[in-house]
Amino acid sequence: SAVISQKPSRDICQRGTSLTIQCQVDSQVTMMFWYRQQPGQSLTLIATANQGSEATYESGFVIDKFPISRPNLTFSTLTVSNMSPEDSSIYLCSVAVGQDANTQYFGPGTRLTVL
Amino acid sequence: GQNIDQPTEMTATEGAIVQINCTYQTSGFNGLFWYQQHAGEAPTFLSYNVLDGLEEKGRFSSFLSRSKGYSYLLLKELQMKDSASYLCAALDSNYQLIWGAGTKLIIKP
């Protein structure tokens, strides 16, 4: 498995501002993922972030709104830009580890509230 | 399209056994995961099945039938701390996880 930390754990932000969420892993991993989970909903994949390449975004998510950095194999950031109340959610990073790099382990999440 | 179906909510009694079912339709298949998620916390990995059959891990077991597109998570000797949401997720041919909406399990004394 992997130990994953996220900062901040929670934040309350004003509409129109941006927040950068950090994800740190205790080991080198190739694949990192950013998810969003709105209350009572399942996980929605925002993008896949591999070191050394541009992040791959899922349908409905764009780089201008959710820029991602992946400077090395243990760290990634997700920025939620120009926030609106609809962005209020839990944002989770995960990493794929295991024999076939299939099993995903999650960070503790960042609870974002936009006023 | 790709789809995961699991019950929205289940209720069981402490000490009893509960089975949470999951059916999936994906473009290709590379395995089925179960995660546990307590309220306000991140999902934690429970099990991974890629071959047909039952995998037992302590009080939790997971079953897979690839021909039927079906899996279940079996929880024995239920404890109050097992109250959580249980997420079923299938890995498709692109190795992308397709997530179910989760089953909220309520344990009553």
A112 interfacial to chain B (CB closer than 8 Å): no
pLDDT at A38 (0 to 100): 87
Token pair listed for A67? 């820029």
Measure the CA–CA gap between B79 and B16, rounded to whole angstroms.
9
User: How much is the average pLDDT of B36-62?
Assistant: 93
How many residue contacts between A and B have a Cβ separation below 8 Å? 37
Buried b (16+ CB within 10 A) or exposed e, B13-23: eeeeebebebb
Contact A42 B30 (CB under 8 A): no
Q: Is the pLDDT of residue B49 over 70?
A: yes
Cis amide leading into A8 (omega within 30): yes
Tens digit of each residue's pLDDT (9 = 90 or more) over A41-86? 889 999 999 888 889 999 999 999 999 999 999 999 999 999 999 9
At residue B95, the pLDDT reads 78
Q: Which residue of B41, B87, B95 is in closest CB contact with A42?
A: B87
A99 falls in which pLDDT band (50, 70, 90)?
low
pLDDT of the residue at A1:
76
Q: A65-74 pLDDT, tens per residue?
A: 999 999 999 9
pLDDT for res A41: 82
Using the predicted structure, report yes or no on whether residue B59 has a pLDDT greater than 90.
yes
Task: Determine the pLDDT at residue A92.
Answer: 95
Tell me: pLDDT of B73 over 90: yes
Burial of A103 (C-beta count, 10 Å sphere; 0-12/13-18/19+):
buried
Task: Out of A42, A92, A107, name the one closest to residue B102 (CB).
Answer: A42
Asked if residue A102 has pLDDT above 80, the reply is no
Contacts of A108 in chain B (CB under 8 A): 41-42
Cβ-based contacts of A109 with chain B (< 8 Å)? 41-42
**Mean per-residue pLDDT for B16-23?**
98
Under 8 Å CB-to-CB from B17, ≥6 apart: which residues? B74, B75, B76, B77, B78
